[in-house]
């Protein structure tokens, strides 16, 4: 769904694979949900709820597809893909179908070690039994919470930087707090701005270039490093080429 990527202004030199509708099917059996990699995460949470399968409510808050969830270990409010994944099927560069069990992913916070060249095509998730109405209620509560705390109706890529500490760490440091303390709430570069509502979100005010957004992100990283010594890690994936005639201004990414 490209909800976690910035494509640089020079575009992508190569082929972009987009999975079609036949990869978007979702079905349930017992406590398991099988979903094509093009299925939206939200559809998986609704299908699970309707079948009385709990544990996948968090998917309702992630605006991506199952393919992106597998690559990113997507999650929110204390739950993530690794908590419910049984196995995933993928194609490798030779066109061979491979199966990865949960442990093969070596999931960590918003990160997996699955080989970069795999194209995920399907995933199997497992939850626990619960009343469909109770599950749906939790999904609605999650959505309401998100509406009030995140600028989800703006043009944004969601959380820009991974939190420095994984969930559950005592006194966990969160990126938004470090950004706020560094005085970057509301900061601008070109058509890009750090959200006033949630300062780990960068906004496109209308005419931002990819360079504006990536450059603003680097401004934020530099300010946080100077203030607290923490080097924030980009959660958003930056891909593609810097335009041939671009100046270096705005393209200071250090870990691209």
Ligand X SMILES: Cc1cc2nc3c(=O)[nH]c(=O)nc-3n(C[C@H](O)[C@H](O)[C@H](O)COP(=O)(O)OP(=O)(O)OC[C@H]3O[C@@H](n4cnc5c(N)ncnc54)[C@H](O)[C@@H]3O)c2cc1C
Q: Is 113 a catalytic residue?
A: no
DSSP-based three-state secondary structure for 27: strand
CA distances from 188 to 144, 151, 154, 217, 256 (A): 28, 16, 15, 10, 22
Spatial separation of the C-alpha atoms in residues 231 and 97, rounded to whole Å? 38
Could you say which of 79, 110, 221, 238 is catalytic? 110
Question: How far is the first Cα of the chain from the last one, in angstroms, to the nearest whole number?
Answer: 21
Residue closer to ligand X (CB basis): 188 or 237: 237
Q: Is 241 a catalytic residue?
A: no
Could you say which of 60, 189, 235, 238 is catalytic? 235
Q: With binding defined as CB under 6 A, does residue 37 bind ligand X?
A: yes
Q: How far is the CB of 3 from ligand X (least distance, A)?
A: 3
Q: Which stretch binds ligand X (CB under 6 A): 135-143, 157-165, 177-185, 212-220?
A: 157-165
Going by C-alpha positions, the residue among 216, 220, 215, 209 that lies closest to residue 248 is: 215
Spatial separation of the C-alpha atoms in residues 171 and 88, rounded to whole Å? 34
Q: How far is the CB of 74 from ligand X (least distance, A)?
A: 3
Per 3-state DSSP, the chain is made up of helix, strand and coil in percentages (nearest 5) of 30, 25, 45
Q: What angle do CA 143, 145, 149 make, to 5 degrees?
A: 115
Footprint (CB under 6 A) of ligand X, residues 163-202: none
Could you say which of 45, 60, 159, 175 is catalytic? 159
Q: Is 138 a catalytic residue?
A: no
Q: With binding defined as CB under 6 A, does residue 39 bind ligand X?
A: no
Q: What angle do CA 91, 92, 98 make, to 5 degrees?
A: 60
Q: How far is the CB of 245 from ligand X (least distance, A)?
A: 27
Q: With binding defined as CB under 6 A, does residue 74 bind ligand X?
A: yes
Going by C-alpha positions, the residue among 256, 78, 254, 44 that lies closest to residue 167 is: 78
Residue closer to ligand X (CB basis): 85 or 226: 85
Pattern 104-123, binding to ligand X, x per CB under 6 A?
--------------xxx---
Q: With binding defined as CB under 6 A, does residue 237 bind ligand X?
A: yes
Quote the distance between the C-alpha of residue 110 and its chain's center. 7
DSSP-based three-state secondary structure for 213: helix
Q: How far is the CB of 27 from ligand X (least distance, A)?
A: 18
Residue closer to ligand X (CB basis): 141 or 183: 141
Number of residues that bind ligand X (CB under 6 A): 29
Residue closer to ligand X (CB basis): 68 or 164: 68
Q: With binding defined as CB under 6 A, does residue 65 bind ligand X?
A: yes
Any idea which residues carry the catalytic annotation? Answer: 110, 159, 235
């Amino acid at each position: 769904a490209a909800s976690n990527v910035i494509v640089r202004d020079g575009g992508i030199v190569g082929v972009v694979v987009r999975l079609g509708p036949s990869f978007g099917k979702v079905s349930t059996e017992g406590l398991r949900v099988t979903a094509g990699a093009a299925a939206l995460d939200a559809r998986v949470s609704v299908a699970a709820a309707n079948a009385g399968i709990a544990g996948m409510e968090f998917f309702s808050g992630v605006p991506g597809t199952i393919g992106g969830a597998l690559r990113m270990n997507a999650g929110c409010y204390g739950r993530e893909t690794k908590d419910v994944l049984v196995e995933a099927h993928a194609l490798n560069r030779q066109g061979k179908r491979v199966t990865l069990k949960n442990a093969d992913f070596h999931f960590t916070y918003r990160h997996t070690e699955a080989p970069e060249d795999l194209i995920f095509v399907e995933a199997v998730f497992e939850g626990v039994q619960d009343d469909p109405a109770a599950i749906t209620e939790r999904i609605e509560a999650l959505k309401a919470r998100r509406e009030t705390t995140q600028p989800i109706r703006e043009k944004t890529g969601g959380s820009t930087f991974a939190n420095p500490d994984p969930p559950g760490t005592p006194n966990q440091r969160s990126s938004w707090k470090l950004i706020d303390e560094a005085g970057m709430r509301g900061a601008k570069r070109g058509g890009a701005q750090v959200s006033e509502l949630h300062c780990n979100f960068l906004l496109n005010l209308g005419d931002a270039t990819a360079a504006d957004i990536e450059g603003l992100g680097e401004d934020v990283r530099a300010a946080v490093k100077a203030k607290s010594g923490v080097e924030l890690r980009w959660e958003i994936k930056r891909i593609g080429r810097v335009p041939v005639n671009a100046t270096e201004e705005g393209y200071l990414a250090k870990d691209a």
